[in-house]
A and B are shown apart, each in its own frame.
Chain A
């Protein structure tokens, strides 16, 4: 194969310093004797330099550095505050706070999932986060979501949350990690913050199908908390084998957990115990 045929590839990799030593030597040797390839490389070199020069970006403004330092300070203060107090002051008012405080007292990390566990929990958590991050159009919106799910998916009520400021946006059907699933979106408004919360609902699971990550006991229920590079997810399977996975951007794993605990799923479990 002549080098001339592959000169586009070779010139690009050469100028990007991606050739291994032998390829590098071979090309340079070839360039000594081939006028047209030599010209091609020089042409590409000039073009690359034009592009790189144009793309030189300004440094970060000092104001930004200060903003970041302030944001990190805030983050430090937030996580330094006891989870319980933080929940009270940030997420929940009045009676909901007391109920949640009771449930937090019941939070006990019971185990880290053993290695031998089925990793479906992990896969569903990852897929939920990914689905959350990707925006797909809703098939039903607002108040008709419940009836629509009953007709197109299963007779299941979308979880409701005691935390105020959480609005049901709608739902669609999807596939999560090979499971037929319903995707329910919520809008969350807390103070100045506004973001989305996604719940993925999967039917026909056994109780440990969504296990993995960190297992947490709330009353007699077990939730699983996953911390993935792209975000956090919380999973839960109810007695009927209906599984739920939650993800929300902007929330730390613990905040997400607190939010899930205020849902009627867990609330029902708590009252029933």
Chain B
């Protein structure tokens, strides 16, 4: 019992203090307050269950963000994508069992829910919606959470160069979208738009490549 209480106290002291940060990341990843709450709660519960596997001296916030990101990628994205497959399978199983189910009726969003989701989304959320998932994740981890390239690379399991390029293009797309929304609503006049910000696809950003090239040059 004592061990259990200590575990809870430690978890509260080290992990729960990051709940605002986690919510911020979840809010920007899911683009919707309700999903963000669910994501944070699921992730923290998962973290609590696996608290024993957290290495005490490492960065707790980065560990938690990793769980949030993985849960988001695995659960929330997957839930969206696999719904049809599972529905089909379930429907067939139900049919096999002789139970008639109106599978479609189960899953349709209620108008209230749709309205609620719309009302919490603002221009920023709309701009984020337009980003590919990987770009959005990189931008959220860096610009909402202040993680380093290396930490993001570990979470996303990609090389640092890939993180930089997702971050670079994600930011450009986001800045362009933000300006367009602002302009559409009359906050910004046309001439203040930065033509250079149209996404520069051909550009590559990679610090490691730069360092390698420089080292080669230096050794010549």
A-B interaction: yes
Q: Are B40 and A76 in contact (CB under 8 A)?
A: no
Is A135 a contact partner of B85 (Cβ separation < 8 A)? yes
Among listed A60-68, A238-246, A259-267, interface-contacting one: A60-68
Q: Is A43 an interface residue (CB 8 A)?
A: yes
Report the number of A-B residue pairs with Cβ-Cβ less than 8 Å.
160
Q: A64-B23, A68-B16, A143-B96 are in contact. Are A18 and B124 (CB under 8 A)?
A: no
20 contacts between A and B (CB under 8 A): A1-B213, A9-B210, A10-B210, A12-B167, A47-B171, A47-B175, A51-B171, A51-B174, A51-B175, A57-B25, A57-B144, A61-B23, A61-B37, A68-B40, A68-B44, A71-B41, A72-B45, A170-B89, A227-B52, A227-B53
Knowing A12-B167, A64-B41, A68-B41 touch, does A57 contact B85 (C-beta < 8 A)?
no
- Indicate if the CB atoms of A137 and B85 lie closer than 8 Å: yes
Contact of A58 among B24, B89, B93 (CB under 8 A): B24
Find out whether the CB atom of A48 lies under 8 angstroms from the CB atom of B171: yes
Q: When the two chains form the complex, which single residue of B4, B33, B44, B86 contacts A169, counting CB atoms closer than 8 Å?
A: B86
Q: Do B168 and A67 touch across chains, with their CB atoms under 8 A apart?
A: no
Indicate which residue in A8, A68, A227 contacts B203 across the interface (CB closer than 8 Å): A8
A64, B142: Cα distance in complex, Å: 24
Interface string of A163-207 (1 = CB under 8 A from B): 000011110000000000000010100000000100000000000
A6 within 8 A of B: yes
Question: A60: shortest Cβ distance to chain B, in Å?
Answer: 4
Looking at chain B's contact residues, the main secondary structure is helix
A29 within 8 A of B: no
| Cα(A10)–Cα(B85), bound, Å | 46
Is there a chain B Cβ closer than 8 Å to A120's Cβ? no
A residues at B contact (CB < 8 Å): 1, 6, 8-10, 12-13, 16, 18-19, 43, 47-48, 50-52, 54-61, 63-65, 67-68, 71-72, 75-76, 79-80, 133-135, 137-138, 141-143, 167-170, 185, 187, 196, 227-230, 249, 252
The CA-CA distance from A57 to B41 in the complex, in Å, is: 17
- Most chain B CB within 10 A, of A16, A60, A187, is at A60
From the candidates A60, A169, A229, name the one contacting B40 in the complex (CB within 8 A): A60
Which residues of chain A are near B206, meaning CB under 8 Å?
9
Q: Which residues of A contact B214 (CB under 8 A)?
A: 1
Beta-carbon contact of B78 and A134 below 8 Å: yes
CB < 8 Å: which of A19, A64, A65, A75 contacts B45? A75
CA distance A225 to B217 in the complex (A): 52
| Contact present for B93 and A141 (CB under 8 Å) | yes
B209-220: CB near A (< 8 Å → 1, else 0) gives: 110011001000
With known contacts A16-B149, A142-B89, A47–B194 Cβ distance under 8 A = yes
B60 within 8 A of A: no
B92 and A43 within 8 A (CB): no
A10-B210, A76-B8, A142-B93 given as contacts; is B20 within 8 A of A59 (CB)? yes
Q: Which residue of A lies closest to B164 (CB)?
A: A12
Which of B44, B82, B139, B207 has a CB less than 8 Å from the CB of A9?
A: B207
Please, how many angstroms separate the alpha-carbon atoms of A16 and B139 in the complex? 12
Q: How far is the CA of A227 from the CA of B200 in the complex (A)?
A: 44
| Contact (Cβ within 8 A) B24 A229 | no
Name, among A54, A61, A228, the residue most crowded by chain B CB atoms within 10 Å (CB to CB): A54
CA distance A48 to B86 in the complex (A): 41
12 extra interchain contacts, Cβ-Cβ under 8 A, other than A47-B172, A57-B27, A227-B50?
Answer: A10-B210, A12-B167, A43-B196, A55-B139, A58-B24, A60-B40, A61-B33, A64-B41, A68-B19, A72-B48, A134-B78, A141-B92
